[in-house]
Chains A and B, each alone.
Chain A
Amino acid sequence: MTAEGHGVIRVDNVVKDFRPGLGLRRKRVLHGVTFEVQEGEVFGFVGPNGAGKTTTLKILMGLIRASEGSASILGCDVGESEFRNRIGFLPENPYFYPFLTAREILDFYARLSGVEASGRAKRVCELLEMVNLSHAADARLRTFSKGMLQRVGVAQALINDPAIVFFDEPMSGLDPIGRKEIRDVILSLREAGKTVFMTTHILHDVEMTCDRVAIIVKGEIRYEGGIEDFLPDSTVPTDVVLAHLPSDVAAEMEERLDIELRGLGERVELTVPEKKVRDVLAAALEAGAEVVSVTPHRNSLEEVFLNAVHEGEKQS
């Protein structure tokens, strides 16, 4: 916990300019990015390619320096290094020394992370077990598949039992099994009370794992909010399309549920609050009708994302 509240990651008005080369104009890639991540939440940092996700993450990891503004993790400036024994980081498409084995690379990172010598071997074994790599513990990394390397990456990020874990595009390029494994790791970290910061452009993964999300487009935060904004809500309207609904049942439903049916030939369409959907469907099915579609009107993350990208493009 930091001195001021529970914001364990704070990014305050961060600007980043890159100089492409001598004599060339500098390029601003982050325009005053500000957000805060609370302790124990899984935070999705979402944006299209080139939006500034990885640049922001690299600033947090101390790999590049902000041109303006400040960023802190666990109350420490990101330029420091000692607090990093309390964080873990999985870069996008991680690469490891191919001449080392999985056990050796984890031992190497354990030494760098300050894991005590007495518990180092045990910790390495635990993590190999956790990421299902015990069978390949003594195989050279050059023989590993992309998914296996990603799991080694996850293991090295967790080697020091960190309070905060940063994942950069953790599901990128993985097959469905690999994605599920990484998703399970993230969910288990949440259960363990860890804070997770994840950059991605795969919205489905965000919806399945994150508590809160920020959308960055062209170096500016366009949206920040809780994932519950995108989840089903009993008050949001839902369109239901039914076929072969007997007219007497239709009239009875209109009266009982206080709804209006719109005729579409053999089909009828009605709009009801989500909490009444179950009743409508039960009545329709009982009367022998066929359910054609059920479409909630809620904003999907995809819609918000696409709107944010569209707005960003209009303004630039």
Chain B
Amino acid sequence: MAQIELQGLRKTFGSVVAVADVSLTIKDGSFSVLLGPSGCGKTTTLNMIAGLEETTAGSILFDGEEVQDLPPHKRDIAMVFQSYALYPNRSVRENIAFPLRMQRVDKREIESRVASVAGKLDIGDLLERRPRQLSGGQQQRVALARAIVRRPKAFMLDEPLSNLDAKLRADMRFELKALQRDLGGTFVHVTHDQAEAMSLADSMIVMDKGRVQQEGPPLAVYLEPVNLFVATFVGIPTMNIIPGQVVDGTFRAPGWECSLGATAATGPATLGVRSEHLSLEAAPEGGIGRVRLVEQVGSDAYVDVETAFGRLVVRTSADTRIGPGDSITVRVSPGHAHLFDPDSGVRRPSAPGAAMAAG
């Protein structure tokens, strides 16, 4: 297993910049997830680590050794693809054995390793089948088996779960995490699904426009997003964003305010608050807006409120009595308001212990 370092990594296709400048350290034995919208450069970054894409500039180090000029087969990594990429003309057994055969591993050794991996992934009775005779979930397992059978330095996973149906995806997510813990390997996983990233990652790397926006444990990224992009990309439902002004330590939007504490800098600002950090109050008179829709998800209800400063989503208990058309006001729970610079989108340092209240 290896620690992977990226230093000033850059990739351009003609005049298109896919990856602008990425510097990262992926710790040995960690499950790191590259998260971002499509076109953010996450897959290109993964392909560069794997050697499938040449770098335009920068270096890639495996355990301190530069590998950016090595072809993929000399980097000793394994990869699982979104489409699984199983060799259709080979049986499951041959698919799994293929990387070992390329390494000229002894025949008996291949046999025992294929059997053990197949047992681990519960595909032991599919070994003689062809990929087309397997379900999507089974193909996925074969692709995983082919990756882990060779005990590589690191595993690259390119959206491996996105072709599975929702139920299977949740199961596989769980299994993948267990597998990584079991193998103790360095996993680099690419996804655009923030829920998947949250649940899998030891370290979450949020990318946009070819740059790393934020890196850290998922919960830290969720609770303290460094900028508006991360704040709105991570978390479902999307964080509420309210444009307004800070005056005398109080954030003001049309018809609504929220005190932030005296240290907050005066001037235009954007307030971000997650739906679970807002609470609803019925306000027949002087409310900030009216309920448009109540979306039930079973465990909670999401209340969609139309206000003078835009749409707000508030998470509340499933048995809420509030219904469409009600006039309401909202309150921010203390310590959970995020202030962002309206121009750059960068988070402003929050004042410790600031009291939040709605007026």
Our verdict on whether A and B bind, yes or no, reads: no
Residues of B participating in the A interface, judged by any CB pair closer than 8 Å = none
